[in-house]
């Protein structure tokens, strides 16, 4: 079954996904299509599988470890006060995890809810030029952490 995640991973493999930060052992680190929370990223599993339960024990450990290292990077690079992780897969049944930096500067009413409560339609869109420095810093962090494949 082809999903948006399948398409994004295929584009990443072919060098045609401009949101890519880097490749890791378990997948691709990409910047989110919208940036209502600056630094929002995803980890897309490669090879594409349906869920965490489709992975072996070692693959699960690798994927989840990489997810948390990306979160560590966001804490350091963005100044956020915490990171939210969401691995859903209901509408896109292919393993991917949303990694959201959360900020004390957010409206307190919305800050207490998942990022899905934001207005995704009117959110600032990914802009490669605007995100270039962040993407480079994130990649350098992940290289130093030993998860980025250069």
Q: Given this model, what pLDDT does residue 26 score?
A: 98
- How far apart CA 73 and CA 41 sit, in angstroms, is 11
The secondary structure of 27-86 as a DSSP string is EEEEE-SB-SSTT-EEEEESS--S-GGGS-HHHHHHHHHHHHHHHHHHHHHH--SEEEEE
19: closest CA among 10, 8, 27?
8
What per-residue confidence (pLDDT) applies to 2? 87
pLDDT along the chain (150 residues), means of 10: 92 98 98 97 98 98 98 98 95 96 96 94 96 98 94
Q: How many CB atoms lie within 10 A of CB 55?
A: 19
Within the chain, how many helices (H) and strands (E) appear?
A: 4, 6
- DSSP, collapsed to helix, strand or coil, labels residue 111 as helix
What is 4-145's CATH number, 3.40.50.720, 3.30.428.10, 2.60.40.10, 3.40.50.970? 3.30.428.10
Residue extents of the structural domains in the chain: 4-145
């Amino acid at each position: 079954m082809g999903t948006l995640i399948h398409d994004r991973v295929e584009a990443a493999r072919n060098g045609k996904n401009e949101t890519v930060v880097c490749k890791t052992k378990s997948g691709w680190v990409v910047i989110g299509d919208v940036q209502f929370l600056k630094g929002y990223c995803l980890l897309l599993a490669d090879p594409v599988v349906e869920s965490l339960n489709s992975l072996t024990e070692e693959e699960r450990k690798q994927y989840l470890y990489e997810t948390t290292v990306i979160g560590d990077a966001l804490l350091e690079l963005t100044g956020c006060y915490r990171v939210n992780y969401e691995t859903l897969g209901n509408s896109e049944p292919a393993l991917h995890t949303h990694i959201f930096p959360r900020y004390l500067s957010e409206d307190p009413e919305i800050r207490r809810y998942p990022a899905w409560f934001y207005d995704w339609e009117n959110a600032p869109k990914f802009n490669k030029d605007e995100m270039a420095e962040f993407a480079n810093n994130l990649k350098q962090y992940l290289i130093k952490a030993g998860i980025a494949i250069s």
